[in-house]
Every structure is written in structure tokens, then in C-alpha cells.
Chain A
Amino acid sequence: MGKITLSQVTKSFGDVQVIPPLDLEINDGEFVVFVGPSGCGKSTLLRLIAGLEDVTSGRIEIDGAEATELPPAKRRLAMVFQSYALYPHMSVRKNIAFPMKMANVPEDEQARRIESAAKALNLTDYLDRKPGQLSGGQRQRVAIGRAIVREPAAFLFDEPLSNLDAALRVGMRLEISELHERLATTMIYVTHDQVEAMTMADKIVVLRAGHIEQVGSPLDLYRAPRNLFVAGFIGSPKMNFIEGQTAAAHGAHTIGIRPEHIEVSATEGLWQGRVAVSEHLGSDSFFHVHDTGLADVITVRASGEIGFRHGDTIFMTPREDQLHRFGADGLRL
């Protein structure tokens, strides 16, 4: 129903190639997240799939059928935009009905689908309001409702949660995940927030400058990042990278160790440093350690009970089995 295949797809704006040749397969029913820093081409890639941008070369197939030249409306994809892109002069009901009205769906069928979408998204009481009278989360749900009623082959989300406040974002994240479980439709989700990527995805596609750096399940990426970029991008706080002699001792150009894989102690350990900033979250504490002689700053994560303060001396021991080793070319050894 919603298998999407990109083969050798490129995109140039003038002389600038933003997407170098790229291959990607998205299976039916998968929740795929494109993640990467801003300007990495993830939104462009989504718009290529949507048909809002023309590919410069290459092929896009949807369900095995050539879709490269198809106009957006014919691709049976529904998109949820970052700004929600609701039609401000139409009521919620009319917004949701719009794609069906354009497709000449019979009135009673329209009403039925609006009813069920509104029920699923808790919008029943708001159907006659205008988008301007809704809160951010409600607008987001209307945008999703407008996508659902088209019964598309796949949903495309373009940073849909970036305009919401933190609490709402967590809630909507759950709702979208639940929606995916219920509909079992392919979803492609673009975000720069790796927490969203980790929590929602079946498959994460990490992009940098249009290149796919790695494709895999969230835990694959966390446990075995293919290169330094993925290692640094996935995981929060970031992985620590250490070069020089310490790395050479492990037979690598760079070694990486995640903050949560370092044991801390006030009295003894492999590495020594001075705490510069400590962040206490209650459940966890993060310490930013300077003067280790290894890197500018080493971040460690410890349980919330451990309290170091600014200027304290701290001893750290990395867990050997959790060390990531990278060669001089940045690739995993």
C-alpha cells in the first residue's frame, strides 16, 4: 500500500546540488524519520517525495508505480506542514472536508469520514470553529485530520511539532505514534530533534548535506553508529570524542564514549578532571568536566543522587565494552 522507493534521486537549485544521488527504500507501514541538522536537505527530500519539488534526476516509485512525474495530488500522499497550513477562512469541518471536496467525494461519505476523524482526534467539539480560535495542539490535530480523511498511501510530516511547547510536543508525539499503530500506514517524518526520532521511528535516516549517513532502527544507530557524525548526532547529551594517545591506546584515531557509559567517583578512576557546570535534573545529573587532558570538555551522566559542584575534582572511568572506535576517516572500526 505505501512502499516508496527512491533510486538515484538528485536535486539541484541552480548550480547547487542539495541532494547528491540518493537511494532509499521505505517499506509499507514503516514509520521512517529523516533526521539531521538544519539545512541537511531532509525537508527537500520530503518535498521531492511529495511532488512539491521536481527531482533533477532519478526515479521515485510509490507502490511499485513510477511517480517521478506525477503531480502531488496524484501521488496519494498526505502532508502535514510545519505551519499546519490550515485554511484560515474555513471552519475546521471545511478544512478537513477540503481534500474530499476537491476529489468529489459524495457529501454523506464526506460527513462520515469527518465524523470518524474528528472522533479519533478529539475534535468533535471544535468542528465549527475557525483555525484562529484553536490552540496550537488543536490546529496540529486538524492538520492531521485533513491528512487522514484522504486515506493516503503514506503520511508526510514536515517538522510538525516544532511550533508546539515542550509539554504539548510530548503529548502530540504519543498521539502520532498511536495514530501510526492504529492506521498502520507508512509515515515519513522530518525532524531535527533526535529525541523525536529515537522515540517514534521504526527506521531512522540520518542525513548530512543531502547524504544519507546511516539508516537503521533507533537502537542500531545508538549502539553502532557508522561514523563520527551519526555518533555525535544520536544520543543526548552528545557522545564524548577523545583523540590522541588515549585513542591510539585503543588502536583508533578517535574513541567515543557516551556520557551515560562513564562511571564517576570522588576518589578514584581512570581519568581526572574538574567539574565546570553541573546540571541536576532530579533523576539524572549531567557534569561538564574540564581539564581532563583528553578533550575540551567531557560530559558525564550520573544518577541524581550524586552531587558534584563547580570546581570539584571528579574521577571518571569509561565502560570499556561501550567504547566506540573510529578510524582517521571518521568511520567506525
Chain B
Amino acid sequence: MSTKASRAAARLMISPSVILLLGWMLIPLGLTLYFSFLRYNLLMPGDNPFVGLENYSYFLTDPGFTAAIWNTLALVLGVLVITIGGGIVLALLLDQPMWGQGIVRILVIAPFFVMPTVSALVWKNMFLNPVNGLFAHLFKALGLQPYDFLAQAPLLSIIGIVSWQWLPFATLILLTALQSLDSEQLEAAEMDGAKPLSRFWHIMLPHLARAITVVVLIQTIFLLSVFAEILVTTNGGPGYASTNLTYLIYVQSLLQYDVGMGSAGGVVAIILANIVAIFLMRMIGKNLEA
């Protein structure tokens, strides 16, 4: 791929996919931007006048906005901490030779195959329900008052549900990373007098740094847009206690039929996601180099 002709041919041949991708992303983005400057409510048909930043000012001063921002951040950070911490522990355990390893590994991966709506429903009805849920039975068996998770600690419950879904992903990535660690390095550390904990801290954890980076980046992208779990369990409530940005946009645009407002919210979400992405790349992106 070094002659002029071959480079030109390469450009020509990848151009359809590039153009398709660009169109795929730019047209919706452009339309969203355009709608966000219009007064465009489906309940009020008629012309859609240009109103400048009116939608943005309404969205940003919405009483749910600040709550939604903090909830989004708490959700992302909470799930990241739980999945990476738990993922490392599970990966270390699954890396040990044991009986029935293959089956155990498949079981661990299983939650990732359950679609978010279903897993949220299962959690809501079978585990967290204050009357019939397993936890309620457990509490009653211990002589305690059943705890209404979704009403008392809605955000924590959702963090729990989402963590359960994403734990297998983190475990899988970290396990493969752990398996790629040269066993001679661990043996060398053992010869050098490193105890198991120091071996983990000085050898394994640095080796996992890149995999952890990948998990953080990929999960952040998906966790910023958690939606189904909230819709199915708490509907963002009580109040705004479990409303994240995605859910707020849904409430604004679809429940109120306000296309302009929803688009403005979407643009705000894009900007926030990019701010988060820039921070992430600054902090941990260097792990991906070299």
C-alpha cells in the first residue's frame, strides 16, 4: 500500500463506507441540532418557529436537570467501581484451576446475555419486591422488616441491577487479560520474595491496567445511556431520585411530545458525554499507548 495508485484505490474503495457512516451520524446530528432551535411540540401543530436557545434554557433550568446530572454520574461511577472491583476478584477466582471450570465460566458470563428490560423485570419482581421478592423473604426469615428497595433506595437498586449486568463483561475482559500474563513473571516475583498480595499489586494490577482502561471506556459509553432499567423499575422516581439524563430527555420529548425540548436535551447529553470522554482520555487514555 505504498504506491500512489494503490493509495488512491484504497481511498476510493473505503469511501462508500466512510460516506455511509458520515451520513448515518451527521444527518441525525444535524437534524437534532436544527430541531433544538425550534419550538416544535407535537401537541401544538402549526408552524415551528425558530426560538433560539429557548429550549436549552428551559431544559437546563428544569428542576430535574441537576438531579439527573448527579444521578447519571453516580450511576456511571457506582457501576464502574462495582464491576471493576468485582470483575478483578471474579477473574482471579476463575483463573484458578478448579473442577467444572467451563460450566462456571459460562454461568458467570450468562447475565450479559439477558436483555436489560428482562433482567430489570426479574430483579424488580423476583428479588426487590417488598412482598414477594426473595430479599423480602430473606428479611422476614431473619425477623426483619422487608425493605422496599425501589422506593427507599431507587438509585442504589438500579446501580445494583446494572452492575449485575455488566459484571460479566468486566470479568471476561479482565480474565483474558489475566490469562495473558506471562507466568514466568509471576514466578520471578515469587523467587524475588513477593508475597501473594505484593504479586497482585506490583505485577498483576499493572498488567491489568490496559484491560481496566478498556472496560472503563466501553462501560462509560453504555452507562451514560442507561434507560431500560429505569423505565422498567422506578420510572425515574420517586420524584427525580432515579432519573438520569437519558431518562429526563425521554420524559421531556416523548412524554410531553416536545421534539424541540428533547432535541435540546440530546445536544446537552452529547456535550456532557464528550466532556466525560475528554476527561477519561486524559486520565487513562495513556494506558492504551505503547
B137 within 8 A of A: no
* Chain A: minimal CB distance from B212 (Å): 13
Q: Could you say which residues of chain A place their CB within 8 Å of the CB of B195? A: 102
Contact B184 A81 (CB under 8 A): yes
Q: Could you say which residues of chain B place their CB within 8 Å of the CB of A132? A: 290
Contact B191 A79 (CB under 8 A): yes
Q: Could you say which residues of chain A place their CB within 8 Å of the CB of B194? A: 73, 98, 102
Q: Could you say which residues of chain A place their CB within 8 Å of the CB of B191? A: 50-52, 72-73, 77-79, 99
A253 within 8 A of B: no
Chain A, 40-87, CB within 8 A of any chain B CB: 50-52, 71-73, 77-79, 81-83, 85-87
Contact B192 A99 (CB under 8 A): yes
Contact A79 B193 (CB under 8 A): no
Chain A, 67-124, CB within 8 A of any chain B CB: 71-73, 77-79, 81-83, 85-90, 98-99, 102-103
Q: What is the CA–CA distance of A99 and B194 in the complex, to the nearest angstrom?
A: 8
A150-B192 contact, Cβ under 8 Å, with A81-B187, A83-B182, A83-B184: yes
Contact B184 A73 (CB under 8 A): no
Closest to A50 in B: B191
Q: Could you say which residues of chain B place their CB within 8 Å of the CB of A51? A: 191
A98-B190 contact, Cβ under 8 Å, with A85-B185, A87-B185, A132-B290: no
Stretch at the interface among B3-11, B51-59, B106-114, B199-207: B199-207
Number of A-B contacts (CB under 8 A): 59
* Chain B: minimal CB distance from A70 (Å): 12
Contact B206 A89 (CB under 8 A): yes
Q: What is the CA–CA distance of A73 and B207 in the complex, to the nearest angstrom?
A: 22
Q: Which residue of the partner chain, among B187, B193, B202, B209, contacts A87 with CB atoms under 8 Å?
A: B202
A146 within 8 A of B: yes
Q: What is the CA–CA distance of A92 and B184 in the complex, to the nearest angstrom?
A: 17
B145 within 8 A of A: no
Chain A, 289-310, CB within 8 A of any chain B CB: none
Contact A98 B189 (CB under 8 A): yes
Identify the interface centre among B189, B195, B198: most chain A CB within 10 Å of its CB: B189
Closest to A98 in B: B192
Identify the interface centre among A71, A81, A82: most chain B CB within 10 Å of its CB: A81
Q: Could you say which residues of chain A place their CB within 8 Å of the CB of B182? A: 83, 85
B188 within 8 A of A: yes
Q: What is the CA–CA distance of A98 and B190 in the complex, to the nearest angstrom?
A: 11
Contact A103 B193 (CB under 8 A): yes
Q: Could you say which residues of chain A place their CB within 8 Å of the CB of B188? A: 79, 81, 85, 87, 146
Q: Could you say which residues of chain A place their CB within 8 Å of the CB of B207? A: 88-89
Chain A, 1-39, CB within 8 A of any chain B CB: none
Q: What is the CA–CA distance of A77 and B193 in the complex, to the nearest angstrom?
A: 10
Contact A73 B193 (CB under 8 A): yes
11 A-B pairs in the complex with CB atoms less than 8 angstroms apart: A51-B191, A72-B191, A73-B192, A78-B191, A87-B203, A89-B209, A98-B202, A99-B192, A103-B193, A146-B192, A150-B192
Residues of A within 8 A of B (CB): 50-52, 71-73, 77-79, 81-83, 85-90, 98-99, 102-103, 132, 146, 150
What 5 pairs across the A-B complex have the smallest Cβ distances?
A73-B193, A99-B192, A85-B188, A85-B184, A102-B193
